[in-house]
Amino acid sequence: MISEKTFYAIIAAIILVGGIGVGVAYDKTLSSTPQQQLPQGPVSLTLLISPNNWFDNATIHHTQPAFFVVGPNGQLESSAVITLPSHRLIKLTIIDYDSGVTSIIGPNGTSNNSSYAKVIGTVGGVEYVYNGTAQYINSTLSGNASNDISIVHGSGWAVSSLPWNSTFGGWEVTHTFTLLSNGQIVLNVPTFAGTNPSGGAVTFTEFYLNNTGSYPWQCYVPCGHELDGWGGAMATAGWMEGVVQVTA
């Protein structure tokens, strides 16, 4: 007959061995389960176009337009290199203080390529225009002239392109924010010229960039000085051109 002392020693050994076994199995289960990825939300990018920035080099001394990135605290930062994540929804807002139609649009001083008046690469193929407007665009834009700039998402005008204005002889485009890949347009967001002499149009759109790498960005409205409008700011990083770095 097993003594009481021996019986309790056997029970303790079983519990100890069993506990170790359970512990090992539990640890193995944890180590073999992939870590759950937390959902990643959209990323906001706000650009501001200011028309009166002093450009000064050996040949050009003049105020010219420039794109700025609006930082998290409202500060203006350089747009020479813009970093965005891949596979994330990018919510882009462009606040444009410039104004006026352009008779030339495209990759050089003589082209008139309507592709750059179209919205390309955005969600739904549209952008939303707010304020600074007093004309209609493809029967979707009605009068809303204002000296103020305000963004009320959901109440703008969804447009897929900006038209030619026969009265003023130019495209209703002040600037474009255009990304290229191997010479092909990946993203084209034209800003509305409006009729407010003080400027003041806001453009909002959404897009994805699913391939990592470096994308040159360029405005395709020749708004610089020299070289048929393609000198100065148009050829200077952080003014009317730069690079978008898409990271994993």
CA distance to 36, 80, 151, 189, per residue, from 93 (Å): 32, 17, 9, 10
Question: Rounded to an integer, what distance in angstroms lies between the CA atom of residue 127 and that of residue 203?
Answer: 7
Q: Tens digit of pLDDT for each residue in 189-234?
A: 999 876 555 566 889 999 999 999 999 999 999 988 888 889 899 9
> Do the domain assignments include residue 101?
yes
Determine the structural domain holding residue 27 and report its residue range.
1-33
Asked whether residue 1 falls in the same domain as residue 52, the answer is no
Same domain, 142 and 81: yes
- Do 15 and 48 share a domain, yes or no? no
Query: Same domain for 121 and 15?
Result: no
In a domain, 103, yes or no: yes
Pair (62, 181) in one structural domain: yes
pLDDT at residue 70, rounded to an integer? 96
Question: Is there a domain that residue 38 lies in?
Answer: no
Counting the structural domains of the chain, the total is: 2
143 and 67 housed in the same domain: yes
In a domain, 74, yes or no: yes
Same domain, 21 and 143: no
CATH number at 99 reads: 2.60.40.420
Rg (CA), the chain: 28
Mean pLDDT, the chain, rounded, equals 77
Give residue-wise pLDDT tens across range 22-58: 333 323 333 333 444 545 899 999 999 999 898 887 6
Same structural domain, 127 and 213: yes
| C-alpha–C-alpha distance, residues 94 and 129, integer Å | 10
Residue 118, C-beta contacts closer than 8 angstroms, at least 6 positions apart: 160, 161, 188, 190
- Tell whether 197 is covered by a domain: yes
Does residue 107 sit within a domain?
Answer: yes
Shared domain for 80 and 163, answered yes or no, is yes
Higher pLDDT, 154 or 34: 154
Residue 238 lies in a domain: yes
